[in-house]
Structure 1
């Protein structure tokens, strides 16, 4: 959990607090409220459903974590499956932004709608002012990020993407839940602009590889062309070849790259019957950089 270094005073009517430096901060929740009201991860791969719980809280349509998870239809990793099926499950585990939109609508009884804005390829937008403008209109943003980007030097590469409610923004900073933290705008932007790919750790491949795994059991062809483009099967064979090689000095591949079902960007949620809800439906896509 991050340490908040700036003391913030909140003006609840406008949701436009000001930091100690006098620079504007826009919040849906205060930091204290976020610590008290936000939801910790409700289950394996369920960061999307967790974000939906917080979104609906912010919008005044609270639901139970169980309801949110059922409506989002979180997909799980098949950890005990053979390697090809395990990799397929990893590419889909959790939820896409579309599942979040459909889940929030279903869980709220149609009271809440969502609109996704992709940030990949790069868009011509200033993230913090753009988020602030929608939050002032009572929209609740959820960031869908590739956490395998912008990893702090010396830290282990995360093994998943992540959905997080954005409950506030300030100068060059984004405040998010699950966990409650403040992340620099530059880092969030990097994670919001990603190809739909996922890195799988070498050891996760080797634990499930067997020499008799049929070559045609890997996803590919018309059903999954990106698996062929990325030559996932070839990457697996390379990792296994490295493991069998007796040359200890030969560098070894740390991860293989597989397609991911997710798209990086921001989903904005609002009450369907509000002016903001209608504005969201009619808003143009963010222009390409």
Structure 2
């Protein structure tokens, strides 16, 4: 067996850092605390990793998780879907409020694509004492044959290695860093306008009878809705399973640190990641 070159070993060491071991993550991670509350769940674990204990209820209150309004007229329902959960802005404000000012956060956009080697970049910040949370459009990285998820997702990153990224909620290990990059970088770029996809709960014929339908035609891509109605009139042929609507979220990584720490000072002064 050939030994790794010194340069390769140094590069691998530079791309490795852990907040928790896998066993610690199993014991310490917080399971999803409620509907659309992956952001608040991530905040609980961020503060835990920073040594600040906060109840899930307090984190959720401070993050101000938005819920889906499933019983609303169609236009309002679609609006609620476009902003359900939380944005990175809510995570940063929520962590700061829930911690009593002990935590500070900074978001780094990863769309449009940036000139960054993601795993070494994450490892560098983790070693400085920062805690990362990824915000990802899971709908654009769906394996063939699997159902399209109906939401974006926030996940705490509790460590990285040269060929692995470790996340919670759910506890997950991505073997290939390029796969992780694709989730929040390349596959986002397939859509010029960042969108959320959701499974329709009614047929095209039912859409036309719902209150607020005219608002939907103006606000949410009339072509998509009209296409569904045309499909309903045909006996055979494919049926549209999803429509795309604008989403409130941004793809990227939020880094958190203890207020006043060296990591926090570096975090707040760090430049934006350069565009490709």
TM norm. shorter chain > 0.5: yes
The structure whose residues are more often helix, as a share, is: 2
- Which range moves more in the overlay, 278-287 or 177-186? 177-186
Report deviation, 1:153: 1.5
Distance between the aligned counterparts of 1:120 and 1:93, measured in 2? 20
Query: Which residue among 35, 38, 41 is the counterpart of 2:26?
Result: 35
Question: Counterpart in 1 of 2:207?
Answer: 209
Report deviation, 1:201: 1.7
Q: Does 1:131 align with 2:129?
A: no
Report deviation, 1:236: 1.4
- Which range moves more in the overlay, 206-215 or 40-49? 206-215
Question: Counterpart in 2 of 1:264?
Answer: 251
Question: Which runs of 5 or more residues in structure 1 are unaligned?
Answer: 1-17, 221-226
- Which range moves more in the overlay, 252-261 or 158-167? 252-261
Q: Is the 8 A contact 2:62 2:94 kept in 1?
A: yes
Query: Which residue among 210, 217, 231 is the counterpart of 1:242?
Result: 231
Q: Is the 8 A contact 1:88 1:219 kept in 2?
A: no
Q: What TM-score results when the alignment is normalised by the length of structure 1? A: 0.84
Q: Is the 8 A contact 2:74 2:210 kept in 1?
A: no
Distance between the aligned counterparts of 2:120 and 2:202, measured in 1? 40
Distance between the aligned counterparts of 1:78 and 1:163, measured in 2? 21
Distance between the aligned counterparts of 2:106 and 2:14, measured in 1? 29
Q: Is the 8 A contact 1:53 1:64 kept in 2?
A: yes
Q: How does 1:224-243 map to 2 (within 5 A)?
A: 227=219, 232-243=221-232
CA gap of 1:87–1:273, structure 2 versus 1, over 3 A, is same
Q: Is the 8 A contact 2:164 2:177 kept in 1?
A: yes
Q: Deviations over 1:159-180 (max 9, x none)?
A: 1000000001111321000011
Report deviation, 1:203: 4.0
- Which range moves more in the overlay, 206-215 or 135-144? 206-215
Query: Which residue among 24, 38, 42 is the counterpart of 1:47?
Result: 38
Distance between the aligned counterparts of 1:95 and 1:50, measured in 2? 11
Distance between the aligned counterparts of 1:130 and 1:218, measured in 2? 42
Q: Deviations over 1:206-265 (max 9, x none)?
A: 596243544542385xxxxxx4xxx5232112112212212x1x2222211100000000
Q: Is the 8 A contact 1:49 1:72 kept in 2?
A: yes
Query: Which residue among 254, 263, 267 is the counterpart of 2:241?
Result: 254
RMSD over aligned Cα atoms: 2.1
Report deviation, 1:83: 1.4
Q: Does 1:116 align with 2:107?
A: yes
Report deviation, 1:181: 0.6
CA gap of 1:214–1:64, structure 2 versus 1, over 3 A, is closer
Report deviation, 1:62: 1.1
Question: Counterpart in 2 of 1:223?
Answer: none
Query: Which residue among 195, 198, 222 is the counterpart of 1:197?
Result: 195
Distance between the aligned counterparts of 2:112 and 2:41, measured in 1? 27
Query: Which residue among 143, 148, 151 is the counterpart of 1:152?
Result: 143
CA gap of 1:163–1:219, structure 2 versus 1, over 3 A, is farther
Q: What TM-score results when the alignment is normalised by the length of structure 2? A: 0.88
